[in-house]
Structure 1
Amino acid sequence: MTDDNNVPIHHLGNRYRLIHQVGKGGMALVYEAYDQMLERPVAIKLLRQDFSELQGFRDRFKQEAKSAANLTHPNIVTVHDFGIDPNGIFIVMEFMVGKDLKFRIREKGFFSANQGIPLMIQACNALGYAHRAGIVHCDVKPQNMIVSDDNRLKITDFGIARALSSINEDNKPDVVWGSPQYLSPEQALGEQPSPASDVYSLGVVMYEMFTGKLPFNAKTTDELIQLHQTQPPVPPREINPECPSELEQIILKILSKEPAARYRTADQLGSVLATILENYRKQPTSSRSSAQVPPAFMINNQPPQISYEDYSPGSEKTSTAIDWKLIGLELLCLLLVGGLLPFWLFIWFSIKPLFG
């Protein structure tokens, strides 16, 4: 393994042995590693070495790493440790076997509603939990979503984009914080991101999942940001007619330019997606793509009352409604039988001597 200057790196923090590099971005290198103290595999993100020279960034990154470490959720990659090494700042995370969602999309072309919506419900589950904890991800993209072979999705990199944004403008002339393909219009304007900003970015991910294409493409970052701010996306069904019309309406709502026009939190979006999935699975297979089911938008400015917490990989929700009428009839029969039994015993013992 080597750093940005091609200098071999074998250990970090006198504790973690690097096995091999599994990813590389403009900000960091990602390694599969081994925790020699606790004797377990881990993933390590090693940030660019020049970042470690900035005291303000080190402090902010440590703060964000602590916040991320407090997020304990089945759909969030757990943060184990944080450190500063001569090779740079690094963060130690749970090692998850799987591929990022970007790879999965390229592999499949696009997802069907039945395959893709449960994954997005898991993403909403993770982001909603973070939003309730007061944490906005700020860099939601498929590269930050790891999908295992059994379709468990986990989101990683909470807080890293927020820490990077603390670097002084003079030190980052060539850097856009967040990924411009998935950046919300308000983030591009430098406004404070909110949970609705994460929802917008998740909408871009959904658009890509169900069409195989990004909603906006441009030659430069500035042009791309301009499209996010001004241009409506091509409706998904014009690219993929198999996308259910109800899902298309949801995606277009999420990609609204104004935050107030979207769902305010990932929790709301997750509830709506759970409703869509229920409706979709009840439809005959032959009519799914063209079904005109009324969209599951907000009712009195509130999400539909449906839980999405139990959408675990490989499982479908089953009805657990209790048939009280049937139970009532069974109890009535039991009472009738129980009440008549003493009467028949009385008759039997009364007439038995007559035949004796």
Structure 2
Amino acid sequence: MTQSFAPDHSTLLDHRRPRRGHAVSRRPHAGTGGLPCVAGYHLLGKVGEGRLATVYLAQDIDGAEVALKMLRPGHADKAARAAAFTREFGIPAAIQSRHVVKVFEQLAVDGDCAIAMEYLGGGDVGRLIAGGLVPDAALVLARQAALALDALHLRGFAHGDVKPANLMLRTSGEVVLVDFGTARACDAAEPAAPAGVVVGTPRYAAPERSQLGTVAPAADVYSLGVVLFEMLCGRPPFPGQTLLEVLSQHLMAPVPRLPAALARFQPLVDAMLCKQPHDRLQDGRAVLGQIELLTGAPAHPAPMGAFASR
């Protein structure tokens, strides 16, 4: 990487990015249909749900659609989850990239954490994989994801959980990197996860994640390489049926060969999926360089029509 930036994480909560260049005022809205009541927002419905948080579509006081990600009751008092929510807001707020999710504010709702961010109405890359992608469209998507990682890595952060579900789409078809709860400053003096414990998603995690537990740009590259292979072939490169099988394949199995029709992508996939971090493409900038050598890289995102099924 050419430069590093590691802000004091205690200041991340105070970073604000107004939607229209002015401070956002507050007025309460009554909850309807069993939805939570959040001052300044009118909740329209639930659009996503995970183990620890729920995402709602809402309107702000100007009528603009936003996504509200709310930590479920009972988790906000846990230091680890509160810290993760602070990162989910503070890290993308510090990044200037059209391919990183825009966050607007972090707030408390009945003592629990919530984040207001842009609403991404195009689904995620996993939906496109399920429908089938032509190879050039897969490369366009990978390039946009690499642009997001480049912006993140240049600021001294690594994401730690690159996967199809965290590569969401605007309705225009642009890829947007989301979910920064596992992200870290690359030089952060934080304890690594215990050996054998993968923080993130094992099917997309670099081999060193299960050995060292650390988050680094080269590990993000590996995860994006897994996503690229899946976009090209419609299946992940290491499709083990159990956690142990998946981790073992990441650690020891050779990189699968692409079909003959996709052979021109093999050097890029190989360079992203090297087992040893020091042998791998090191960051998002290096991935972009290889994509440009391979294709001449489009200057702008492809239109929605480019994401046609095979």
Which TM-score band applies after superposition, normalised by the shorter structure? 0.7 to 0.9
**Cα deviation per residue 1:17-53 (whole Å; 9 max; x = unaligned)?**
22111122233222211223x4321012223333211
Counterpart residue number, 2:53:
28
Are 1:75 and 2:96 matched, yes or no? no
- Give the 3 Å change call, closer, same or farther, for CA 29–148 of structure 1 in structure 2: same
* Distance in 2 of aligned mates of 1:190 and 1:104: 32
Give the counterpart of 1:272 among 286, 290, 308: 290
Q: Which amino acid aligns with 1:31?
A: Y
* Distance in 1 of aligned mates of 2:293 and 2:261: 19
Q: Using structure 2 for the length normalisation, give the TM-score.
A: 0.77
Q: CA deviation at 1:94?
A: 0.8
Give the counterpart of 2:248 among 226, 237, 241: 226
* Distance in 2 of aligned mates of 1:48 and 1:84: 12
**Equivalence map 1:293-308=2 (5 Å):** none
Give the counterpart of 1:213 among 229, 235, 241: 235
Partner SS for 2:301: coil
**Cα deviation per residue 1:55-104 (whole Å; 9 max; x = unaligned)?**
35424532552222121211111011112323732221111221200011
- Give the 3 Å change call, closer, same or farther, for CA 216–50 of structure 1 in structure 2: farther
Across the two proteins, how many residue pairs are aligned to each other? 265
* Structure 2: segments with no counterpart, 5+ residues: 1-32, 185-189, 305-310
* Structure 1: segments with no counterpart, 5+ residues: 1-6, 279-307, 316-356
* Distance in 2 of aligned mates of 1:57 and 1:169: 15
Q: Using structure 1 for the length normalisation, give the TM-score.
A: 0.68
* Distance in 1 of aligned mates of 2:215 and 2:79: 24
Q: Which amino acid aligns with 1:52?
A: A
Counterpart residue number, 1:8:
34
Counterpart residue number, 1:338:
none
Give the counterpart of 2:137 among 87, 91, 115: 115
Equivalent pair of 1:72/1:78 in contact (CA under 8 Å): no
- Give the 3 Å change call, closer, same or farther, for CA 29–64 of structure 1 in structure 2: closer
**Cα deviation per residue 1:142-179 (whole Å; 9 max; x = unaligned)?**
1111224543111111x21248xx89989xxxx95211
Structure number, greater radius of gyration: 1
Counterpart residue number, 2:202:
180
Counterpart residue number, 2:43:
18
Equivalent pair of 1:56/1:167 in contact (CA under 8 Å): no
Counterpart residue number, 2:261:
242
Equivalent pair of 1:46/1:88 in contact (CA under 8 Å): yes
Q: Percent identity?
A: 26
Equivalent pair of 2:183/2:215 in contact (CA under 8 Å): no
Tell me which of the two structures has the higher relative contact order, counting C-alpha pairs closer than 8 angstroms and 6 or more residues apart.
Answer: 2
* Distance in 2 of aligned mates of 1:142 and 1:35: 28
* Distance in 1 of aligned mates of 2:193 and 2:150: 31
Question: Aligned Cα RMSD in Å?
Answer: 2.7
Give the counterpart of 1:310 among 282, 294, 299: 299
- Give the 3 Å change call, closer, same or farther, for CA 50–309 of structure 1 in structure 2: farther
Give the counterpart of 1:137 among 151, 154, 159: 159
Counterpart residue number, 1:153:
175
